[in-house]
Amino acid sequence: MPLHTVSRVILLGCVVAACGQDPAEPELVGEHRCAQIHRSEAPTQRNVVMIVNDTMRRDAAGIYGGTAATPHFDRFADRNLLFENAFAQAPWTKPSIATLFTSLYPSQHLVISDPMLRKRGTGIGESFEADVLVAPLVTLAEVFSAAGYRTAAFVANPWLKARFGFAQGFEHYEDSFVDEFGAWPPSGEALVEAALDWLRERDPDEPWFLYVHLLDSHGPYGSIDASEAAGLRPRLNADSRPVGRDGERIYRDMRLSDGTPLQAAGFRLTRALLRKVYRIGIERFDRLFGELLAGLRKAPGWQQTAVIVTSDHGEAFFEHGWGLHGHGLHDDEAAIPLAARLPGVTGARLVPRGSH
């Protein structure tokens, strides 16, 4: 399959979500058409990198108006293509990535269940097909492989373990960065370095597809610097807004940078605390994204490499009564960042800021 066809498969759902209006129809009041993008050269084989930062809500990054310091993502998005109305197809990892890999809705690929439910005595049977991404479904990696691409994935989320079917089409699938559920956060540095090591071994004449899935902004989020704890504690503890049991689930795993549990360090569970450590996790991802980009630029074929960066879902902070993710389809869980570098394509934001 020609790469320009593959690229359309990758971005089709995102473009539809970003545009939202038929250009043949009269422009609606208060609505904006997408900025046009143009291919400035004939399509050729491109390398493709897909980067997913788990649990990154759209409004977290600076370029979307967020408070986190995300200079690497902001600069990348500003110099390339930024989608401002991209949405995940599910509010948790497993069905969302199954959609990303297959271009099918969750109701079609049926990767919508949680096998952990069987361990909670719900009466669900020993196994059922919806647990896994089944072999008959054609994945993005299989499309690339059939087109002559070398394919590799480096993933840090346990829902993406090979046993759930996500390794289809990848000749190299590395899922050892996290052992099992609850054993995170894994080392994002180790994952990025492993991905770059794989790239360094590539024949520059062979096209490749690389999938990188980081977990640095997933709960229990980032660690507060121990040297800043005393100064931050009074302000964060003063927040009196209610926090439900969803927050309590990850509170016990939150740490200072020296390993001290936040509870032992005198931090109360507050929304302000949750947002602070979440912001630290987002900023940690941004540093890793910068390292990954720097390595990609040094790899052979950078000028012919497409880079797409996004998330699988967002994170709720009790805006609607619950926290974390997997509970609702409001923007806090469904609205995701999306930026892309597509060699040979020029353009700007695909929906002007302030259009929604």
Give residue-wise pLDDT tens across range 151-175: 999 998 888 889 889 999 999 999 8
- Give 225-246 pLDDT, tens digit per residue: 999 999 999 999 999 988 878 7
pTM: 0.83
CB 314 within 8 A of CB 336: yes
How far is Cα 288 from Cα 192, in angstroms, rounded to an integer? 7
**Given this model, what pLDDT does residue 289 score?**
97
- Give 44-87 pLDDT, tens digit per residue: 678 999 999 999 999 999 999 999 999 999 999 999 999 989 99
pLDDT tops 60 at residue 6: no
Element (H, E) at 146: helix 140-146
Instruction: Mention every residue, 6+ apart, whose C-beta is less than 8 A from residue 85.
Output: 17, 18, 19, 20, 350, 351, 355, 356
Show me where the domains of the chain are located.
3-20+44-346
Residue 262: name the closest of 291, 225, 304 by CA. 225
How far is Cα 221 from Cα 197, in angstroms, rounded to an integer? 27
**Given this model, what pLDDT does residue 306 score?**
95
- Give 286-300 pLDDT, tens digit per residue: 999 999 999 999 988
- Give 126-146 pLDDT, tens digit per residue: 444 447 888 889 999 999 999
Quick one: 3-20+44-346 is in which CATH superfamily?
Answer: Alkaline Phosphatase, subunit A (3.40.720.10)
pLDDT tops 50 at residue 31: no
The alpha carbons of the chain give a radius of gyration, in whole angstroms, of 20
**Given this model, what pLDDT does residue 326 score?**
66
